[in-house]
Amino acid sequence: MKVTVFNGSPRGRKSNTHRIVDPLLEGARQAGAQTEEIFLAEHNINHCCGCFSCWTKTPGKCVIHDDMSDFIDLFFESDYVGMATPVYGLFMTSILKKFNERLLPTATPHIHKNEDGSCYHEERMHYPRFFMIANAGFPGEHNFDLFKTYMALQNPILEIYRNCGGVLEDWPEESVKKRINKFYDALREAGREMVTKGQVSETIIKSIHAELISDEEFMAGANQYWDEEITKGGL
Ligand SMILES: Cc1cc2nc3c(=O)[nH]c(=O)nc-3n(C[C@H](O)[C@H](O)[C@H](O)COP(=O)(O)O)c2cc1C
């Protein structure tokens, strides 16, 4: 069993996104899976040029020669594929969006219709099961609305939406640290369940989405942090 996550944060290995992916994959490994996290920012991925050659002249193959061809192989070798991103402008980063668009060779041009009237392109090979991870800088839930709309068409096995993502980096308050550790425990368990049961229980999904910090406490801490950084004159 192979679980692969494509991390679309420009901050790569230092990202809050990675702080969420890491325990999830740790749990998957504990349950016997082989795991891999690809930091897309470290790779050469050009944007789709919209030529549709991958549907006509070279079926299943992109005419652009960059790191994406290896990632399409990895996509099909995986049983579970996660896409992980910080929220940028209410959706995924351009890094992950570019990656998504370059998955075009994995489908054929033929259009089919779902029972609900939505349309999709036929899969060229059997797709892996899918999960989404997003972390937002803001409190609240509305920053995930576009992800939820997108995911409604993808039949994902798991969706993780973490608000106040900055608390994962460092937060002095002990009670918040304790809640963050519980969040990481729930992510490990989600990884284990995904591999052993093929699904994640409602209890674990609820623990993953438990509040880490109140909106007011987060805003006060975050505003103070940025005031100090502005005074210092840079990060
Ligand atoms: C260009 C840019 C756009 C952003 N847009 C949003 C946004 O629309 N909503 C939000 O909640 N946070 C937004 N953020 C904040 C990031 O989502 C937040 O800092 C996140 O924790 C960064 O995660 P990372 O460390 O994995 O990159 C934005 C940050 C940047 C740099």
pLDDT in tens, 82-136: 999 999 999 999 999 999 999 999 999 999 998 888 899 999 999 999 999 999 9
Q: Is 135 in the pocket of ligand 1 (CB under 6 A)?
A: yes
Determine the atom of ligand 1 nearest the C-alpha atom of 19. Answer: 26
- Please say whether the beta carbons of 77 and 156 come within 8 A: no
> What pLDDT digit, counting tens, does each position of 171-214 carry?
999 999 999 999 999 999 999 999 999 999 999 999 999 999 99
* Closest ligand 1 atom to Cα of 138: 11
pLDDT given for residue 159 in this prediction: 98
Question: How far is CA 114 from each of CA 76, 123, 146, 149, rounded to the nearest angstrom?
Answer: 23, 14, 20, 16
The pLDDT of residue 235 is 56
Residue 39, token pair as written in the block = 């930091």
Domain segments of the chain as ranges: 2-232
pLDDT digits (tens, 9 = 90+) for 148-176: 999 998 899 999 999 999 999 989 999 99
pLDDT at 116: 87
| Separation CA 78–CA 106 (nearest Å) | 14
pLDDT at 170 (0 to 100)? 87
Question: Is 97 close to ligand 1, i.e. is its CB under 6 Å away?
Answer: no
- The pick from 14, 17, 87 for probing ligand 1's pocket by mutation, whose C-beta has the most ligand atoms within 8 angstroms, reads 87
Please give the CATH superfamily to which domain 2-232 belongs.
Flavodoxin domain (3.40.50.360)
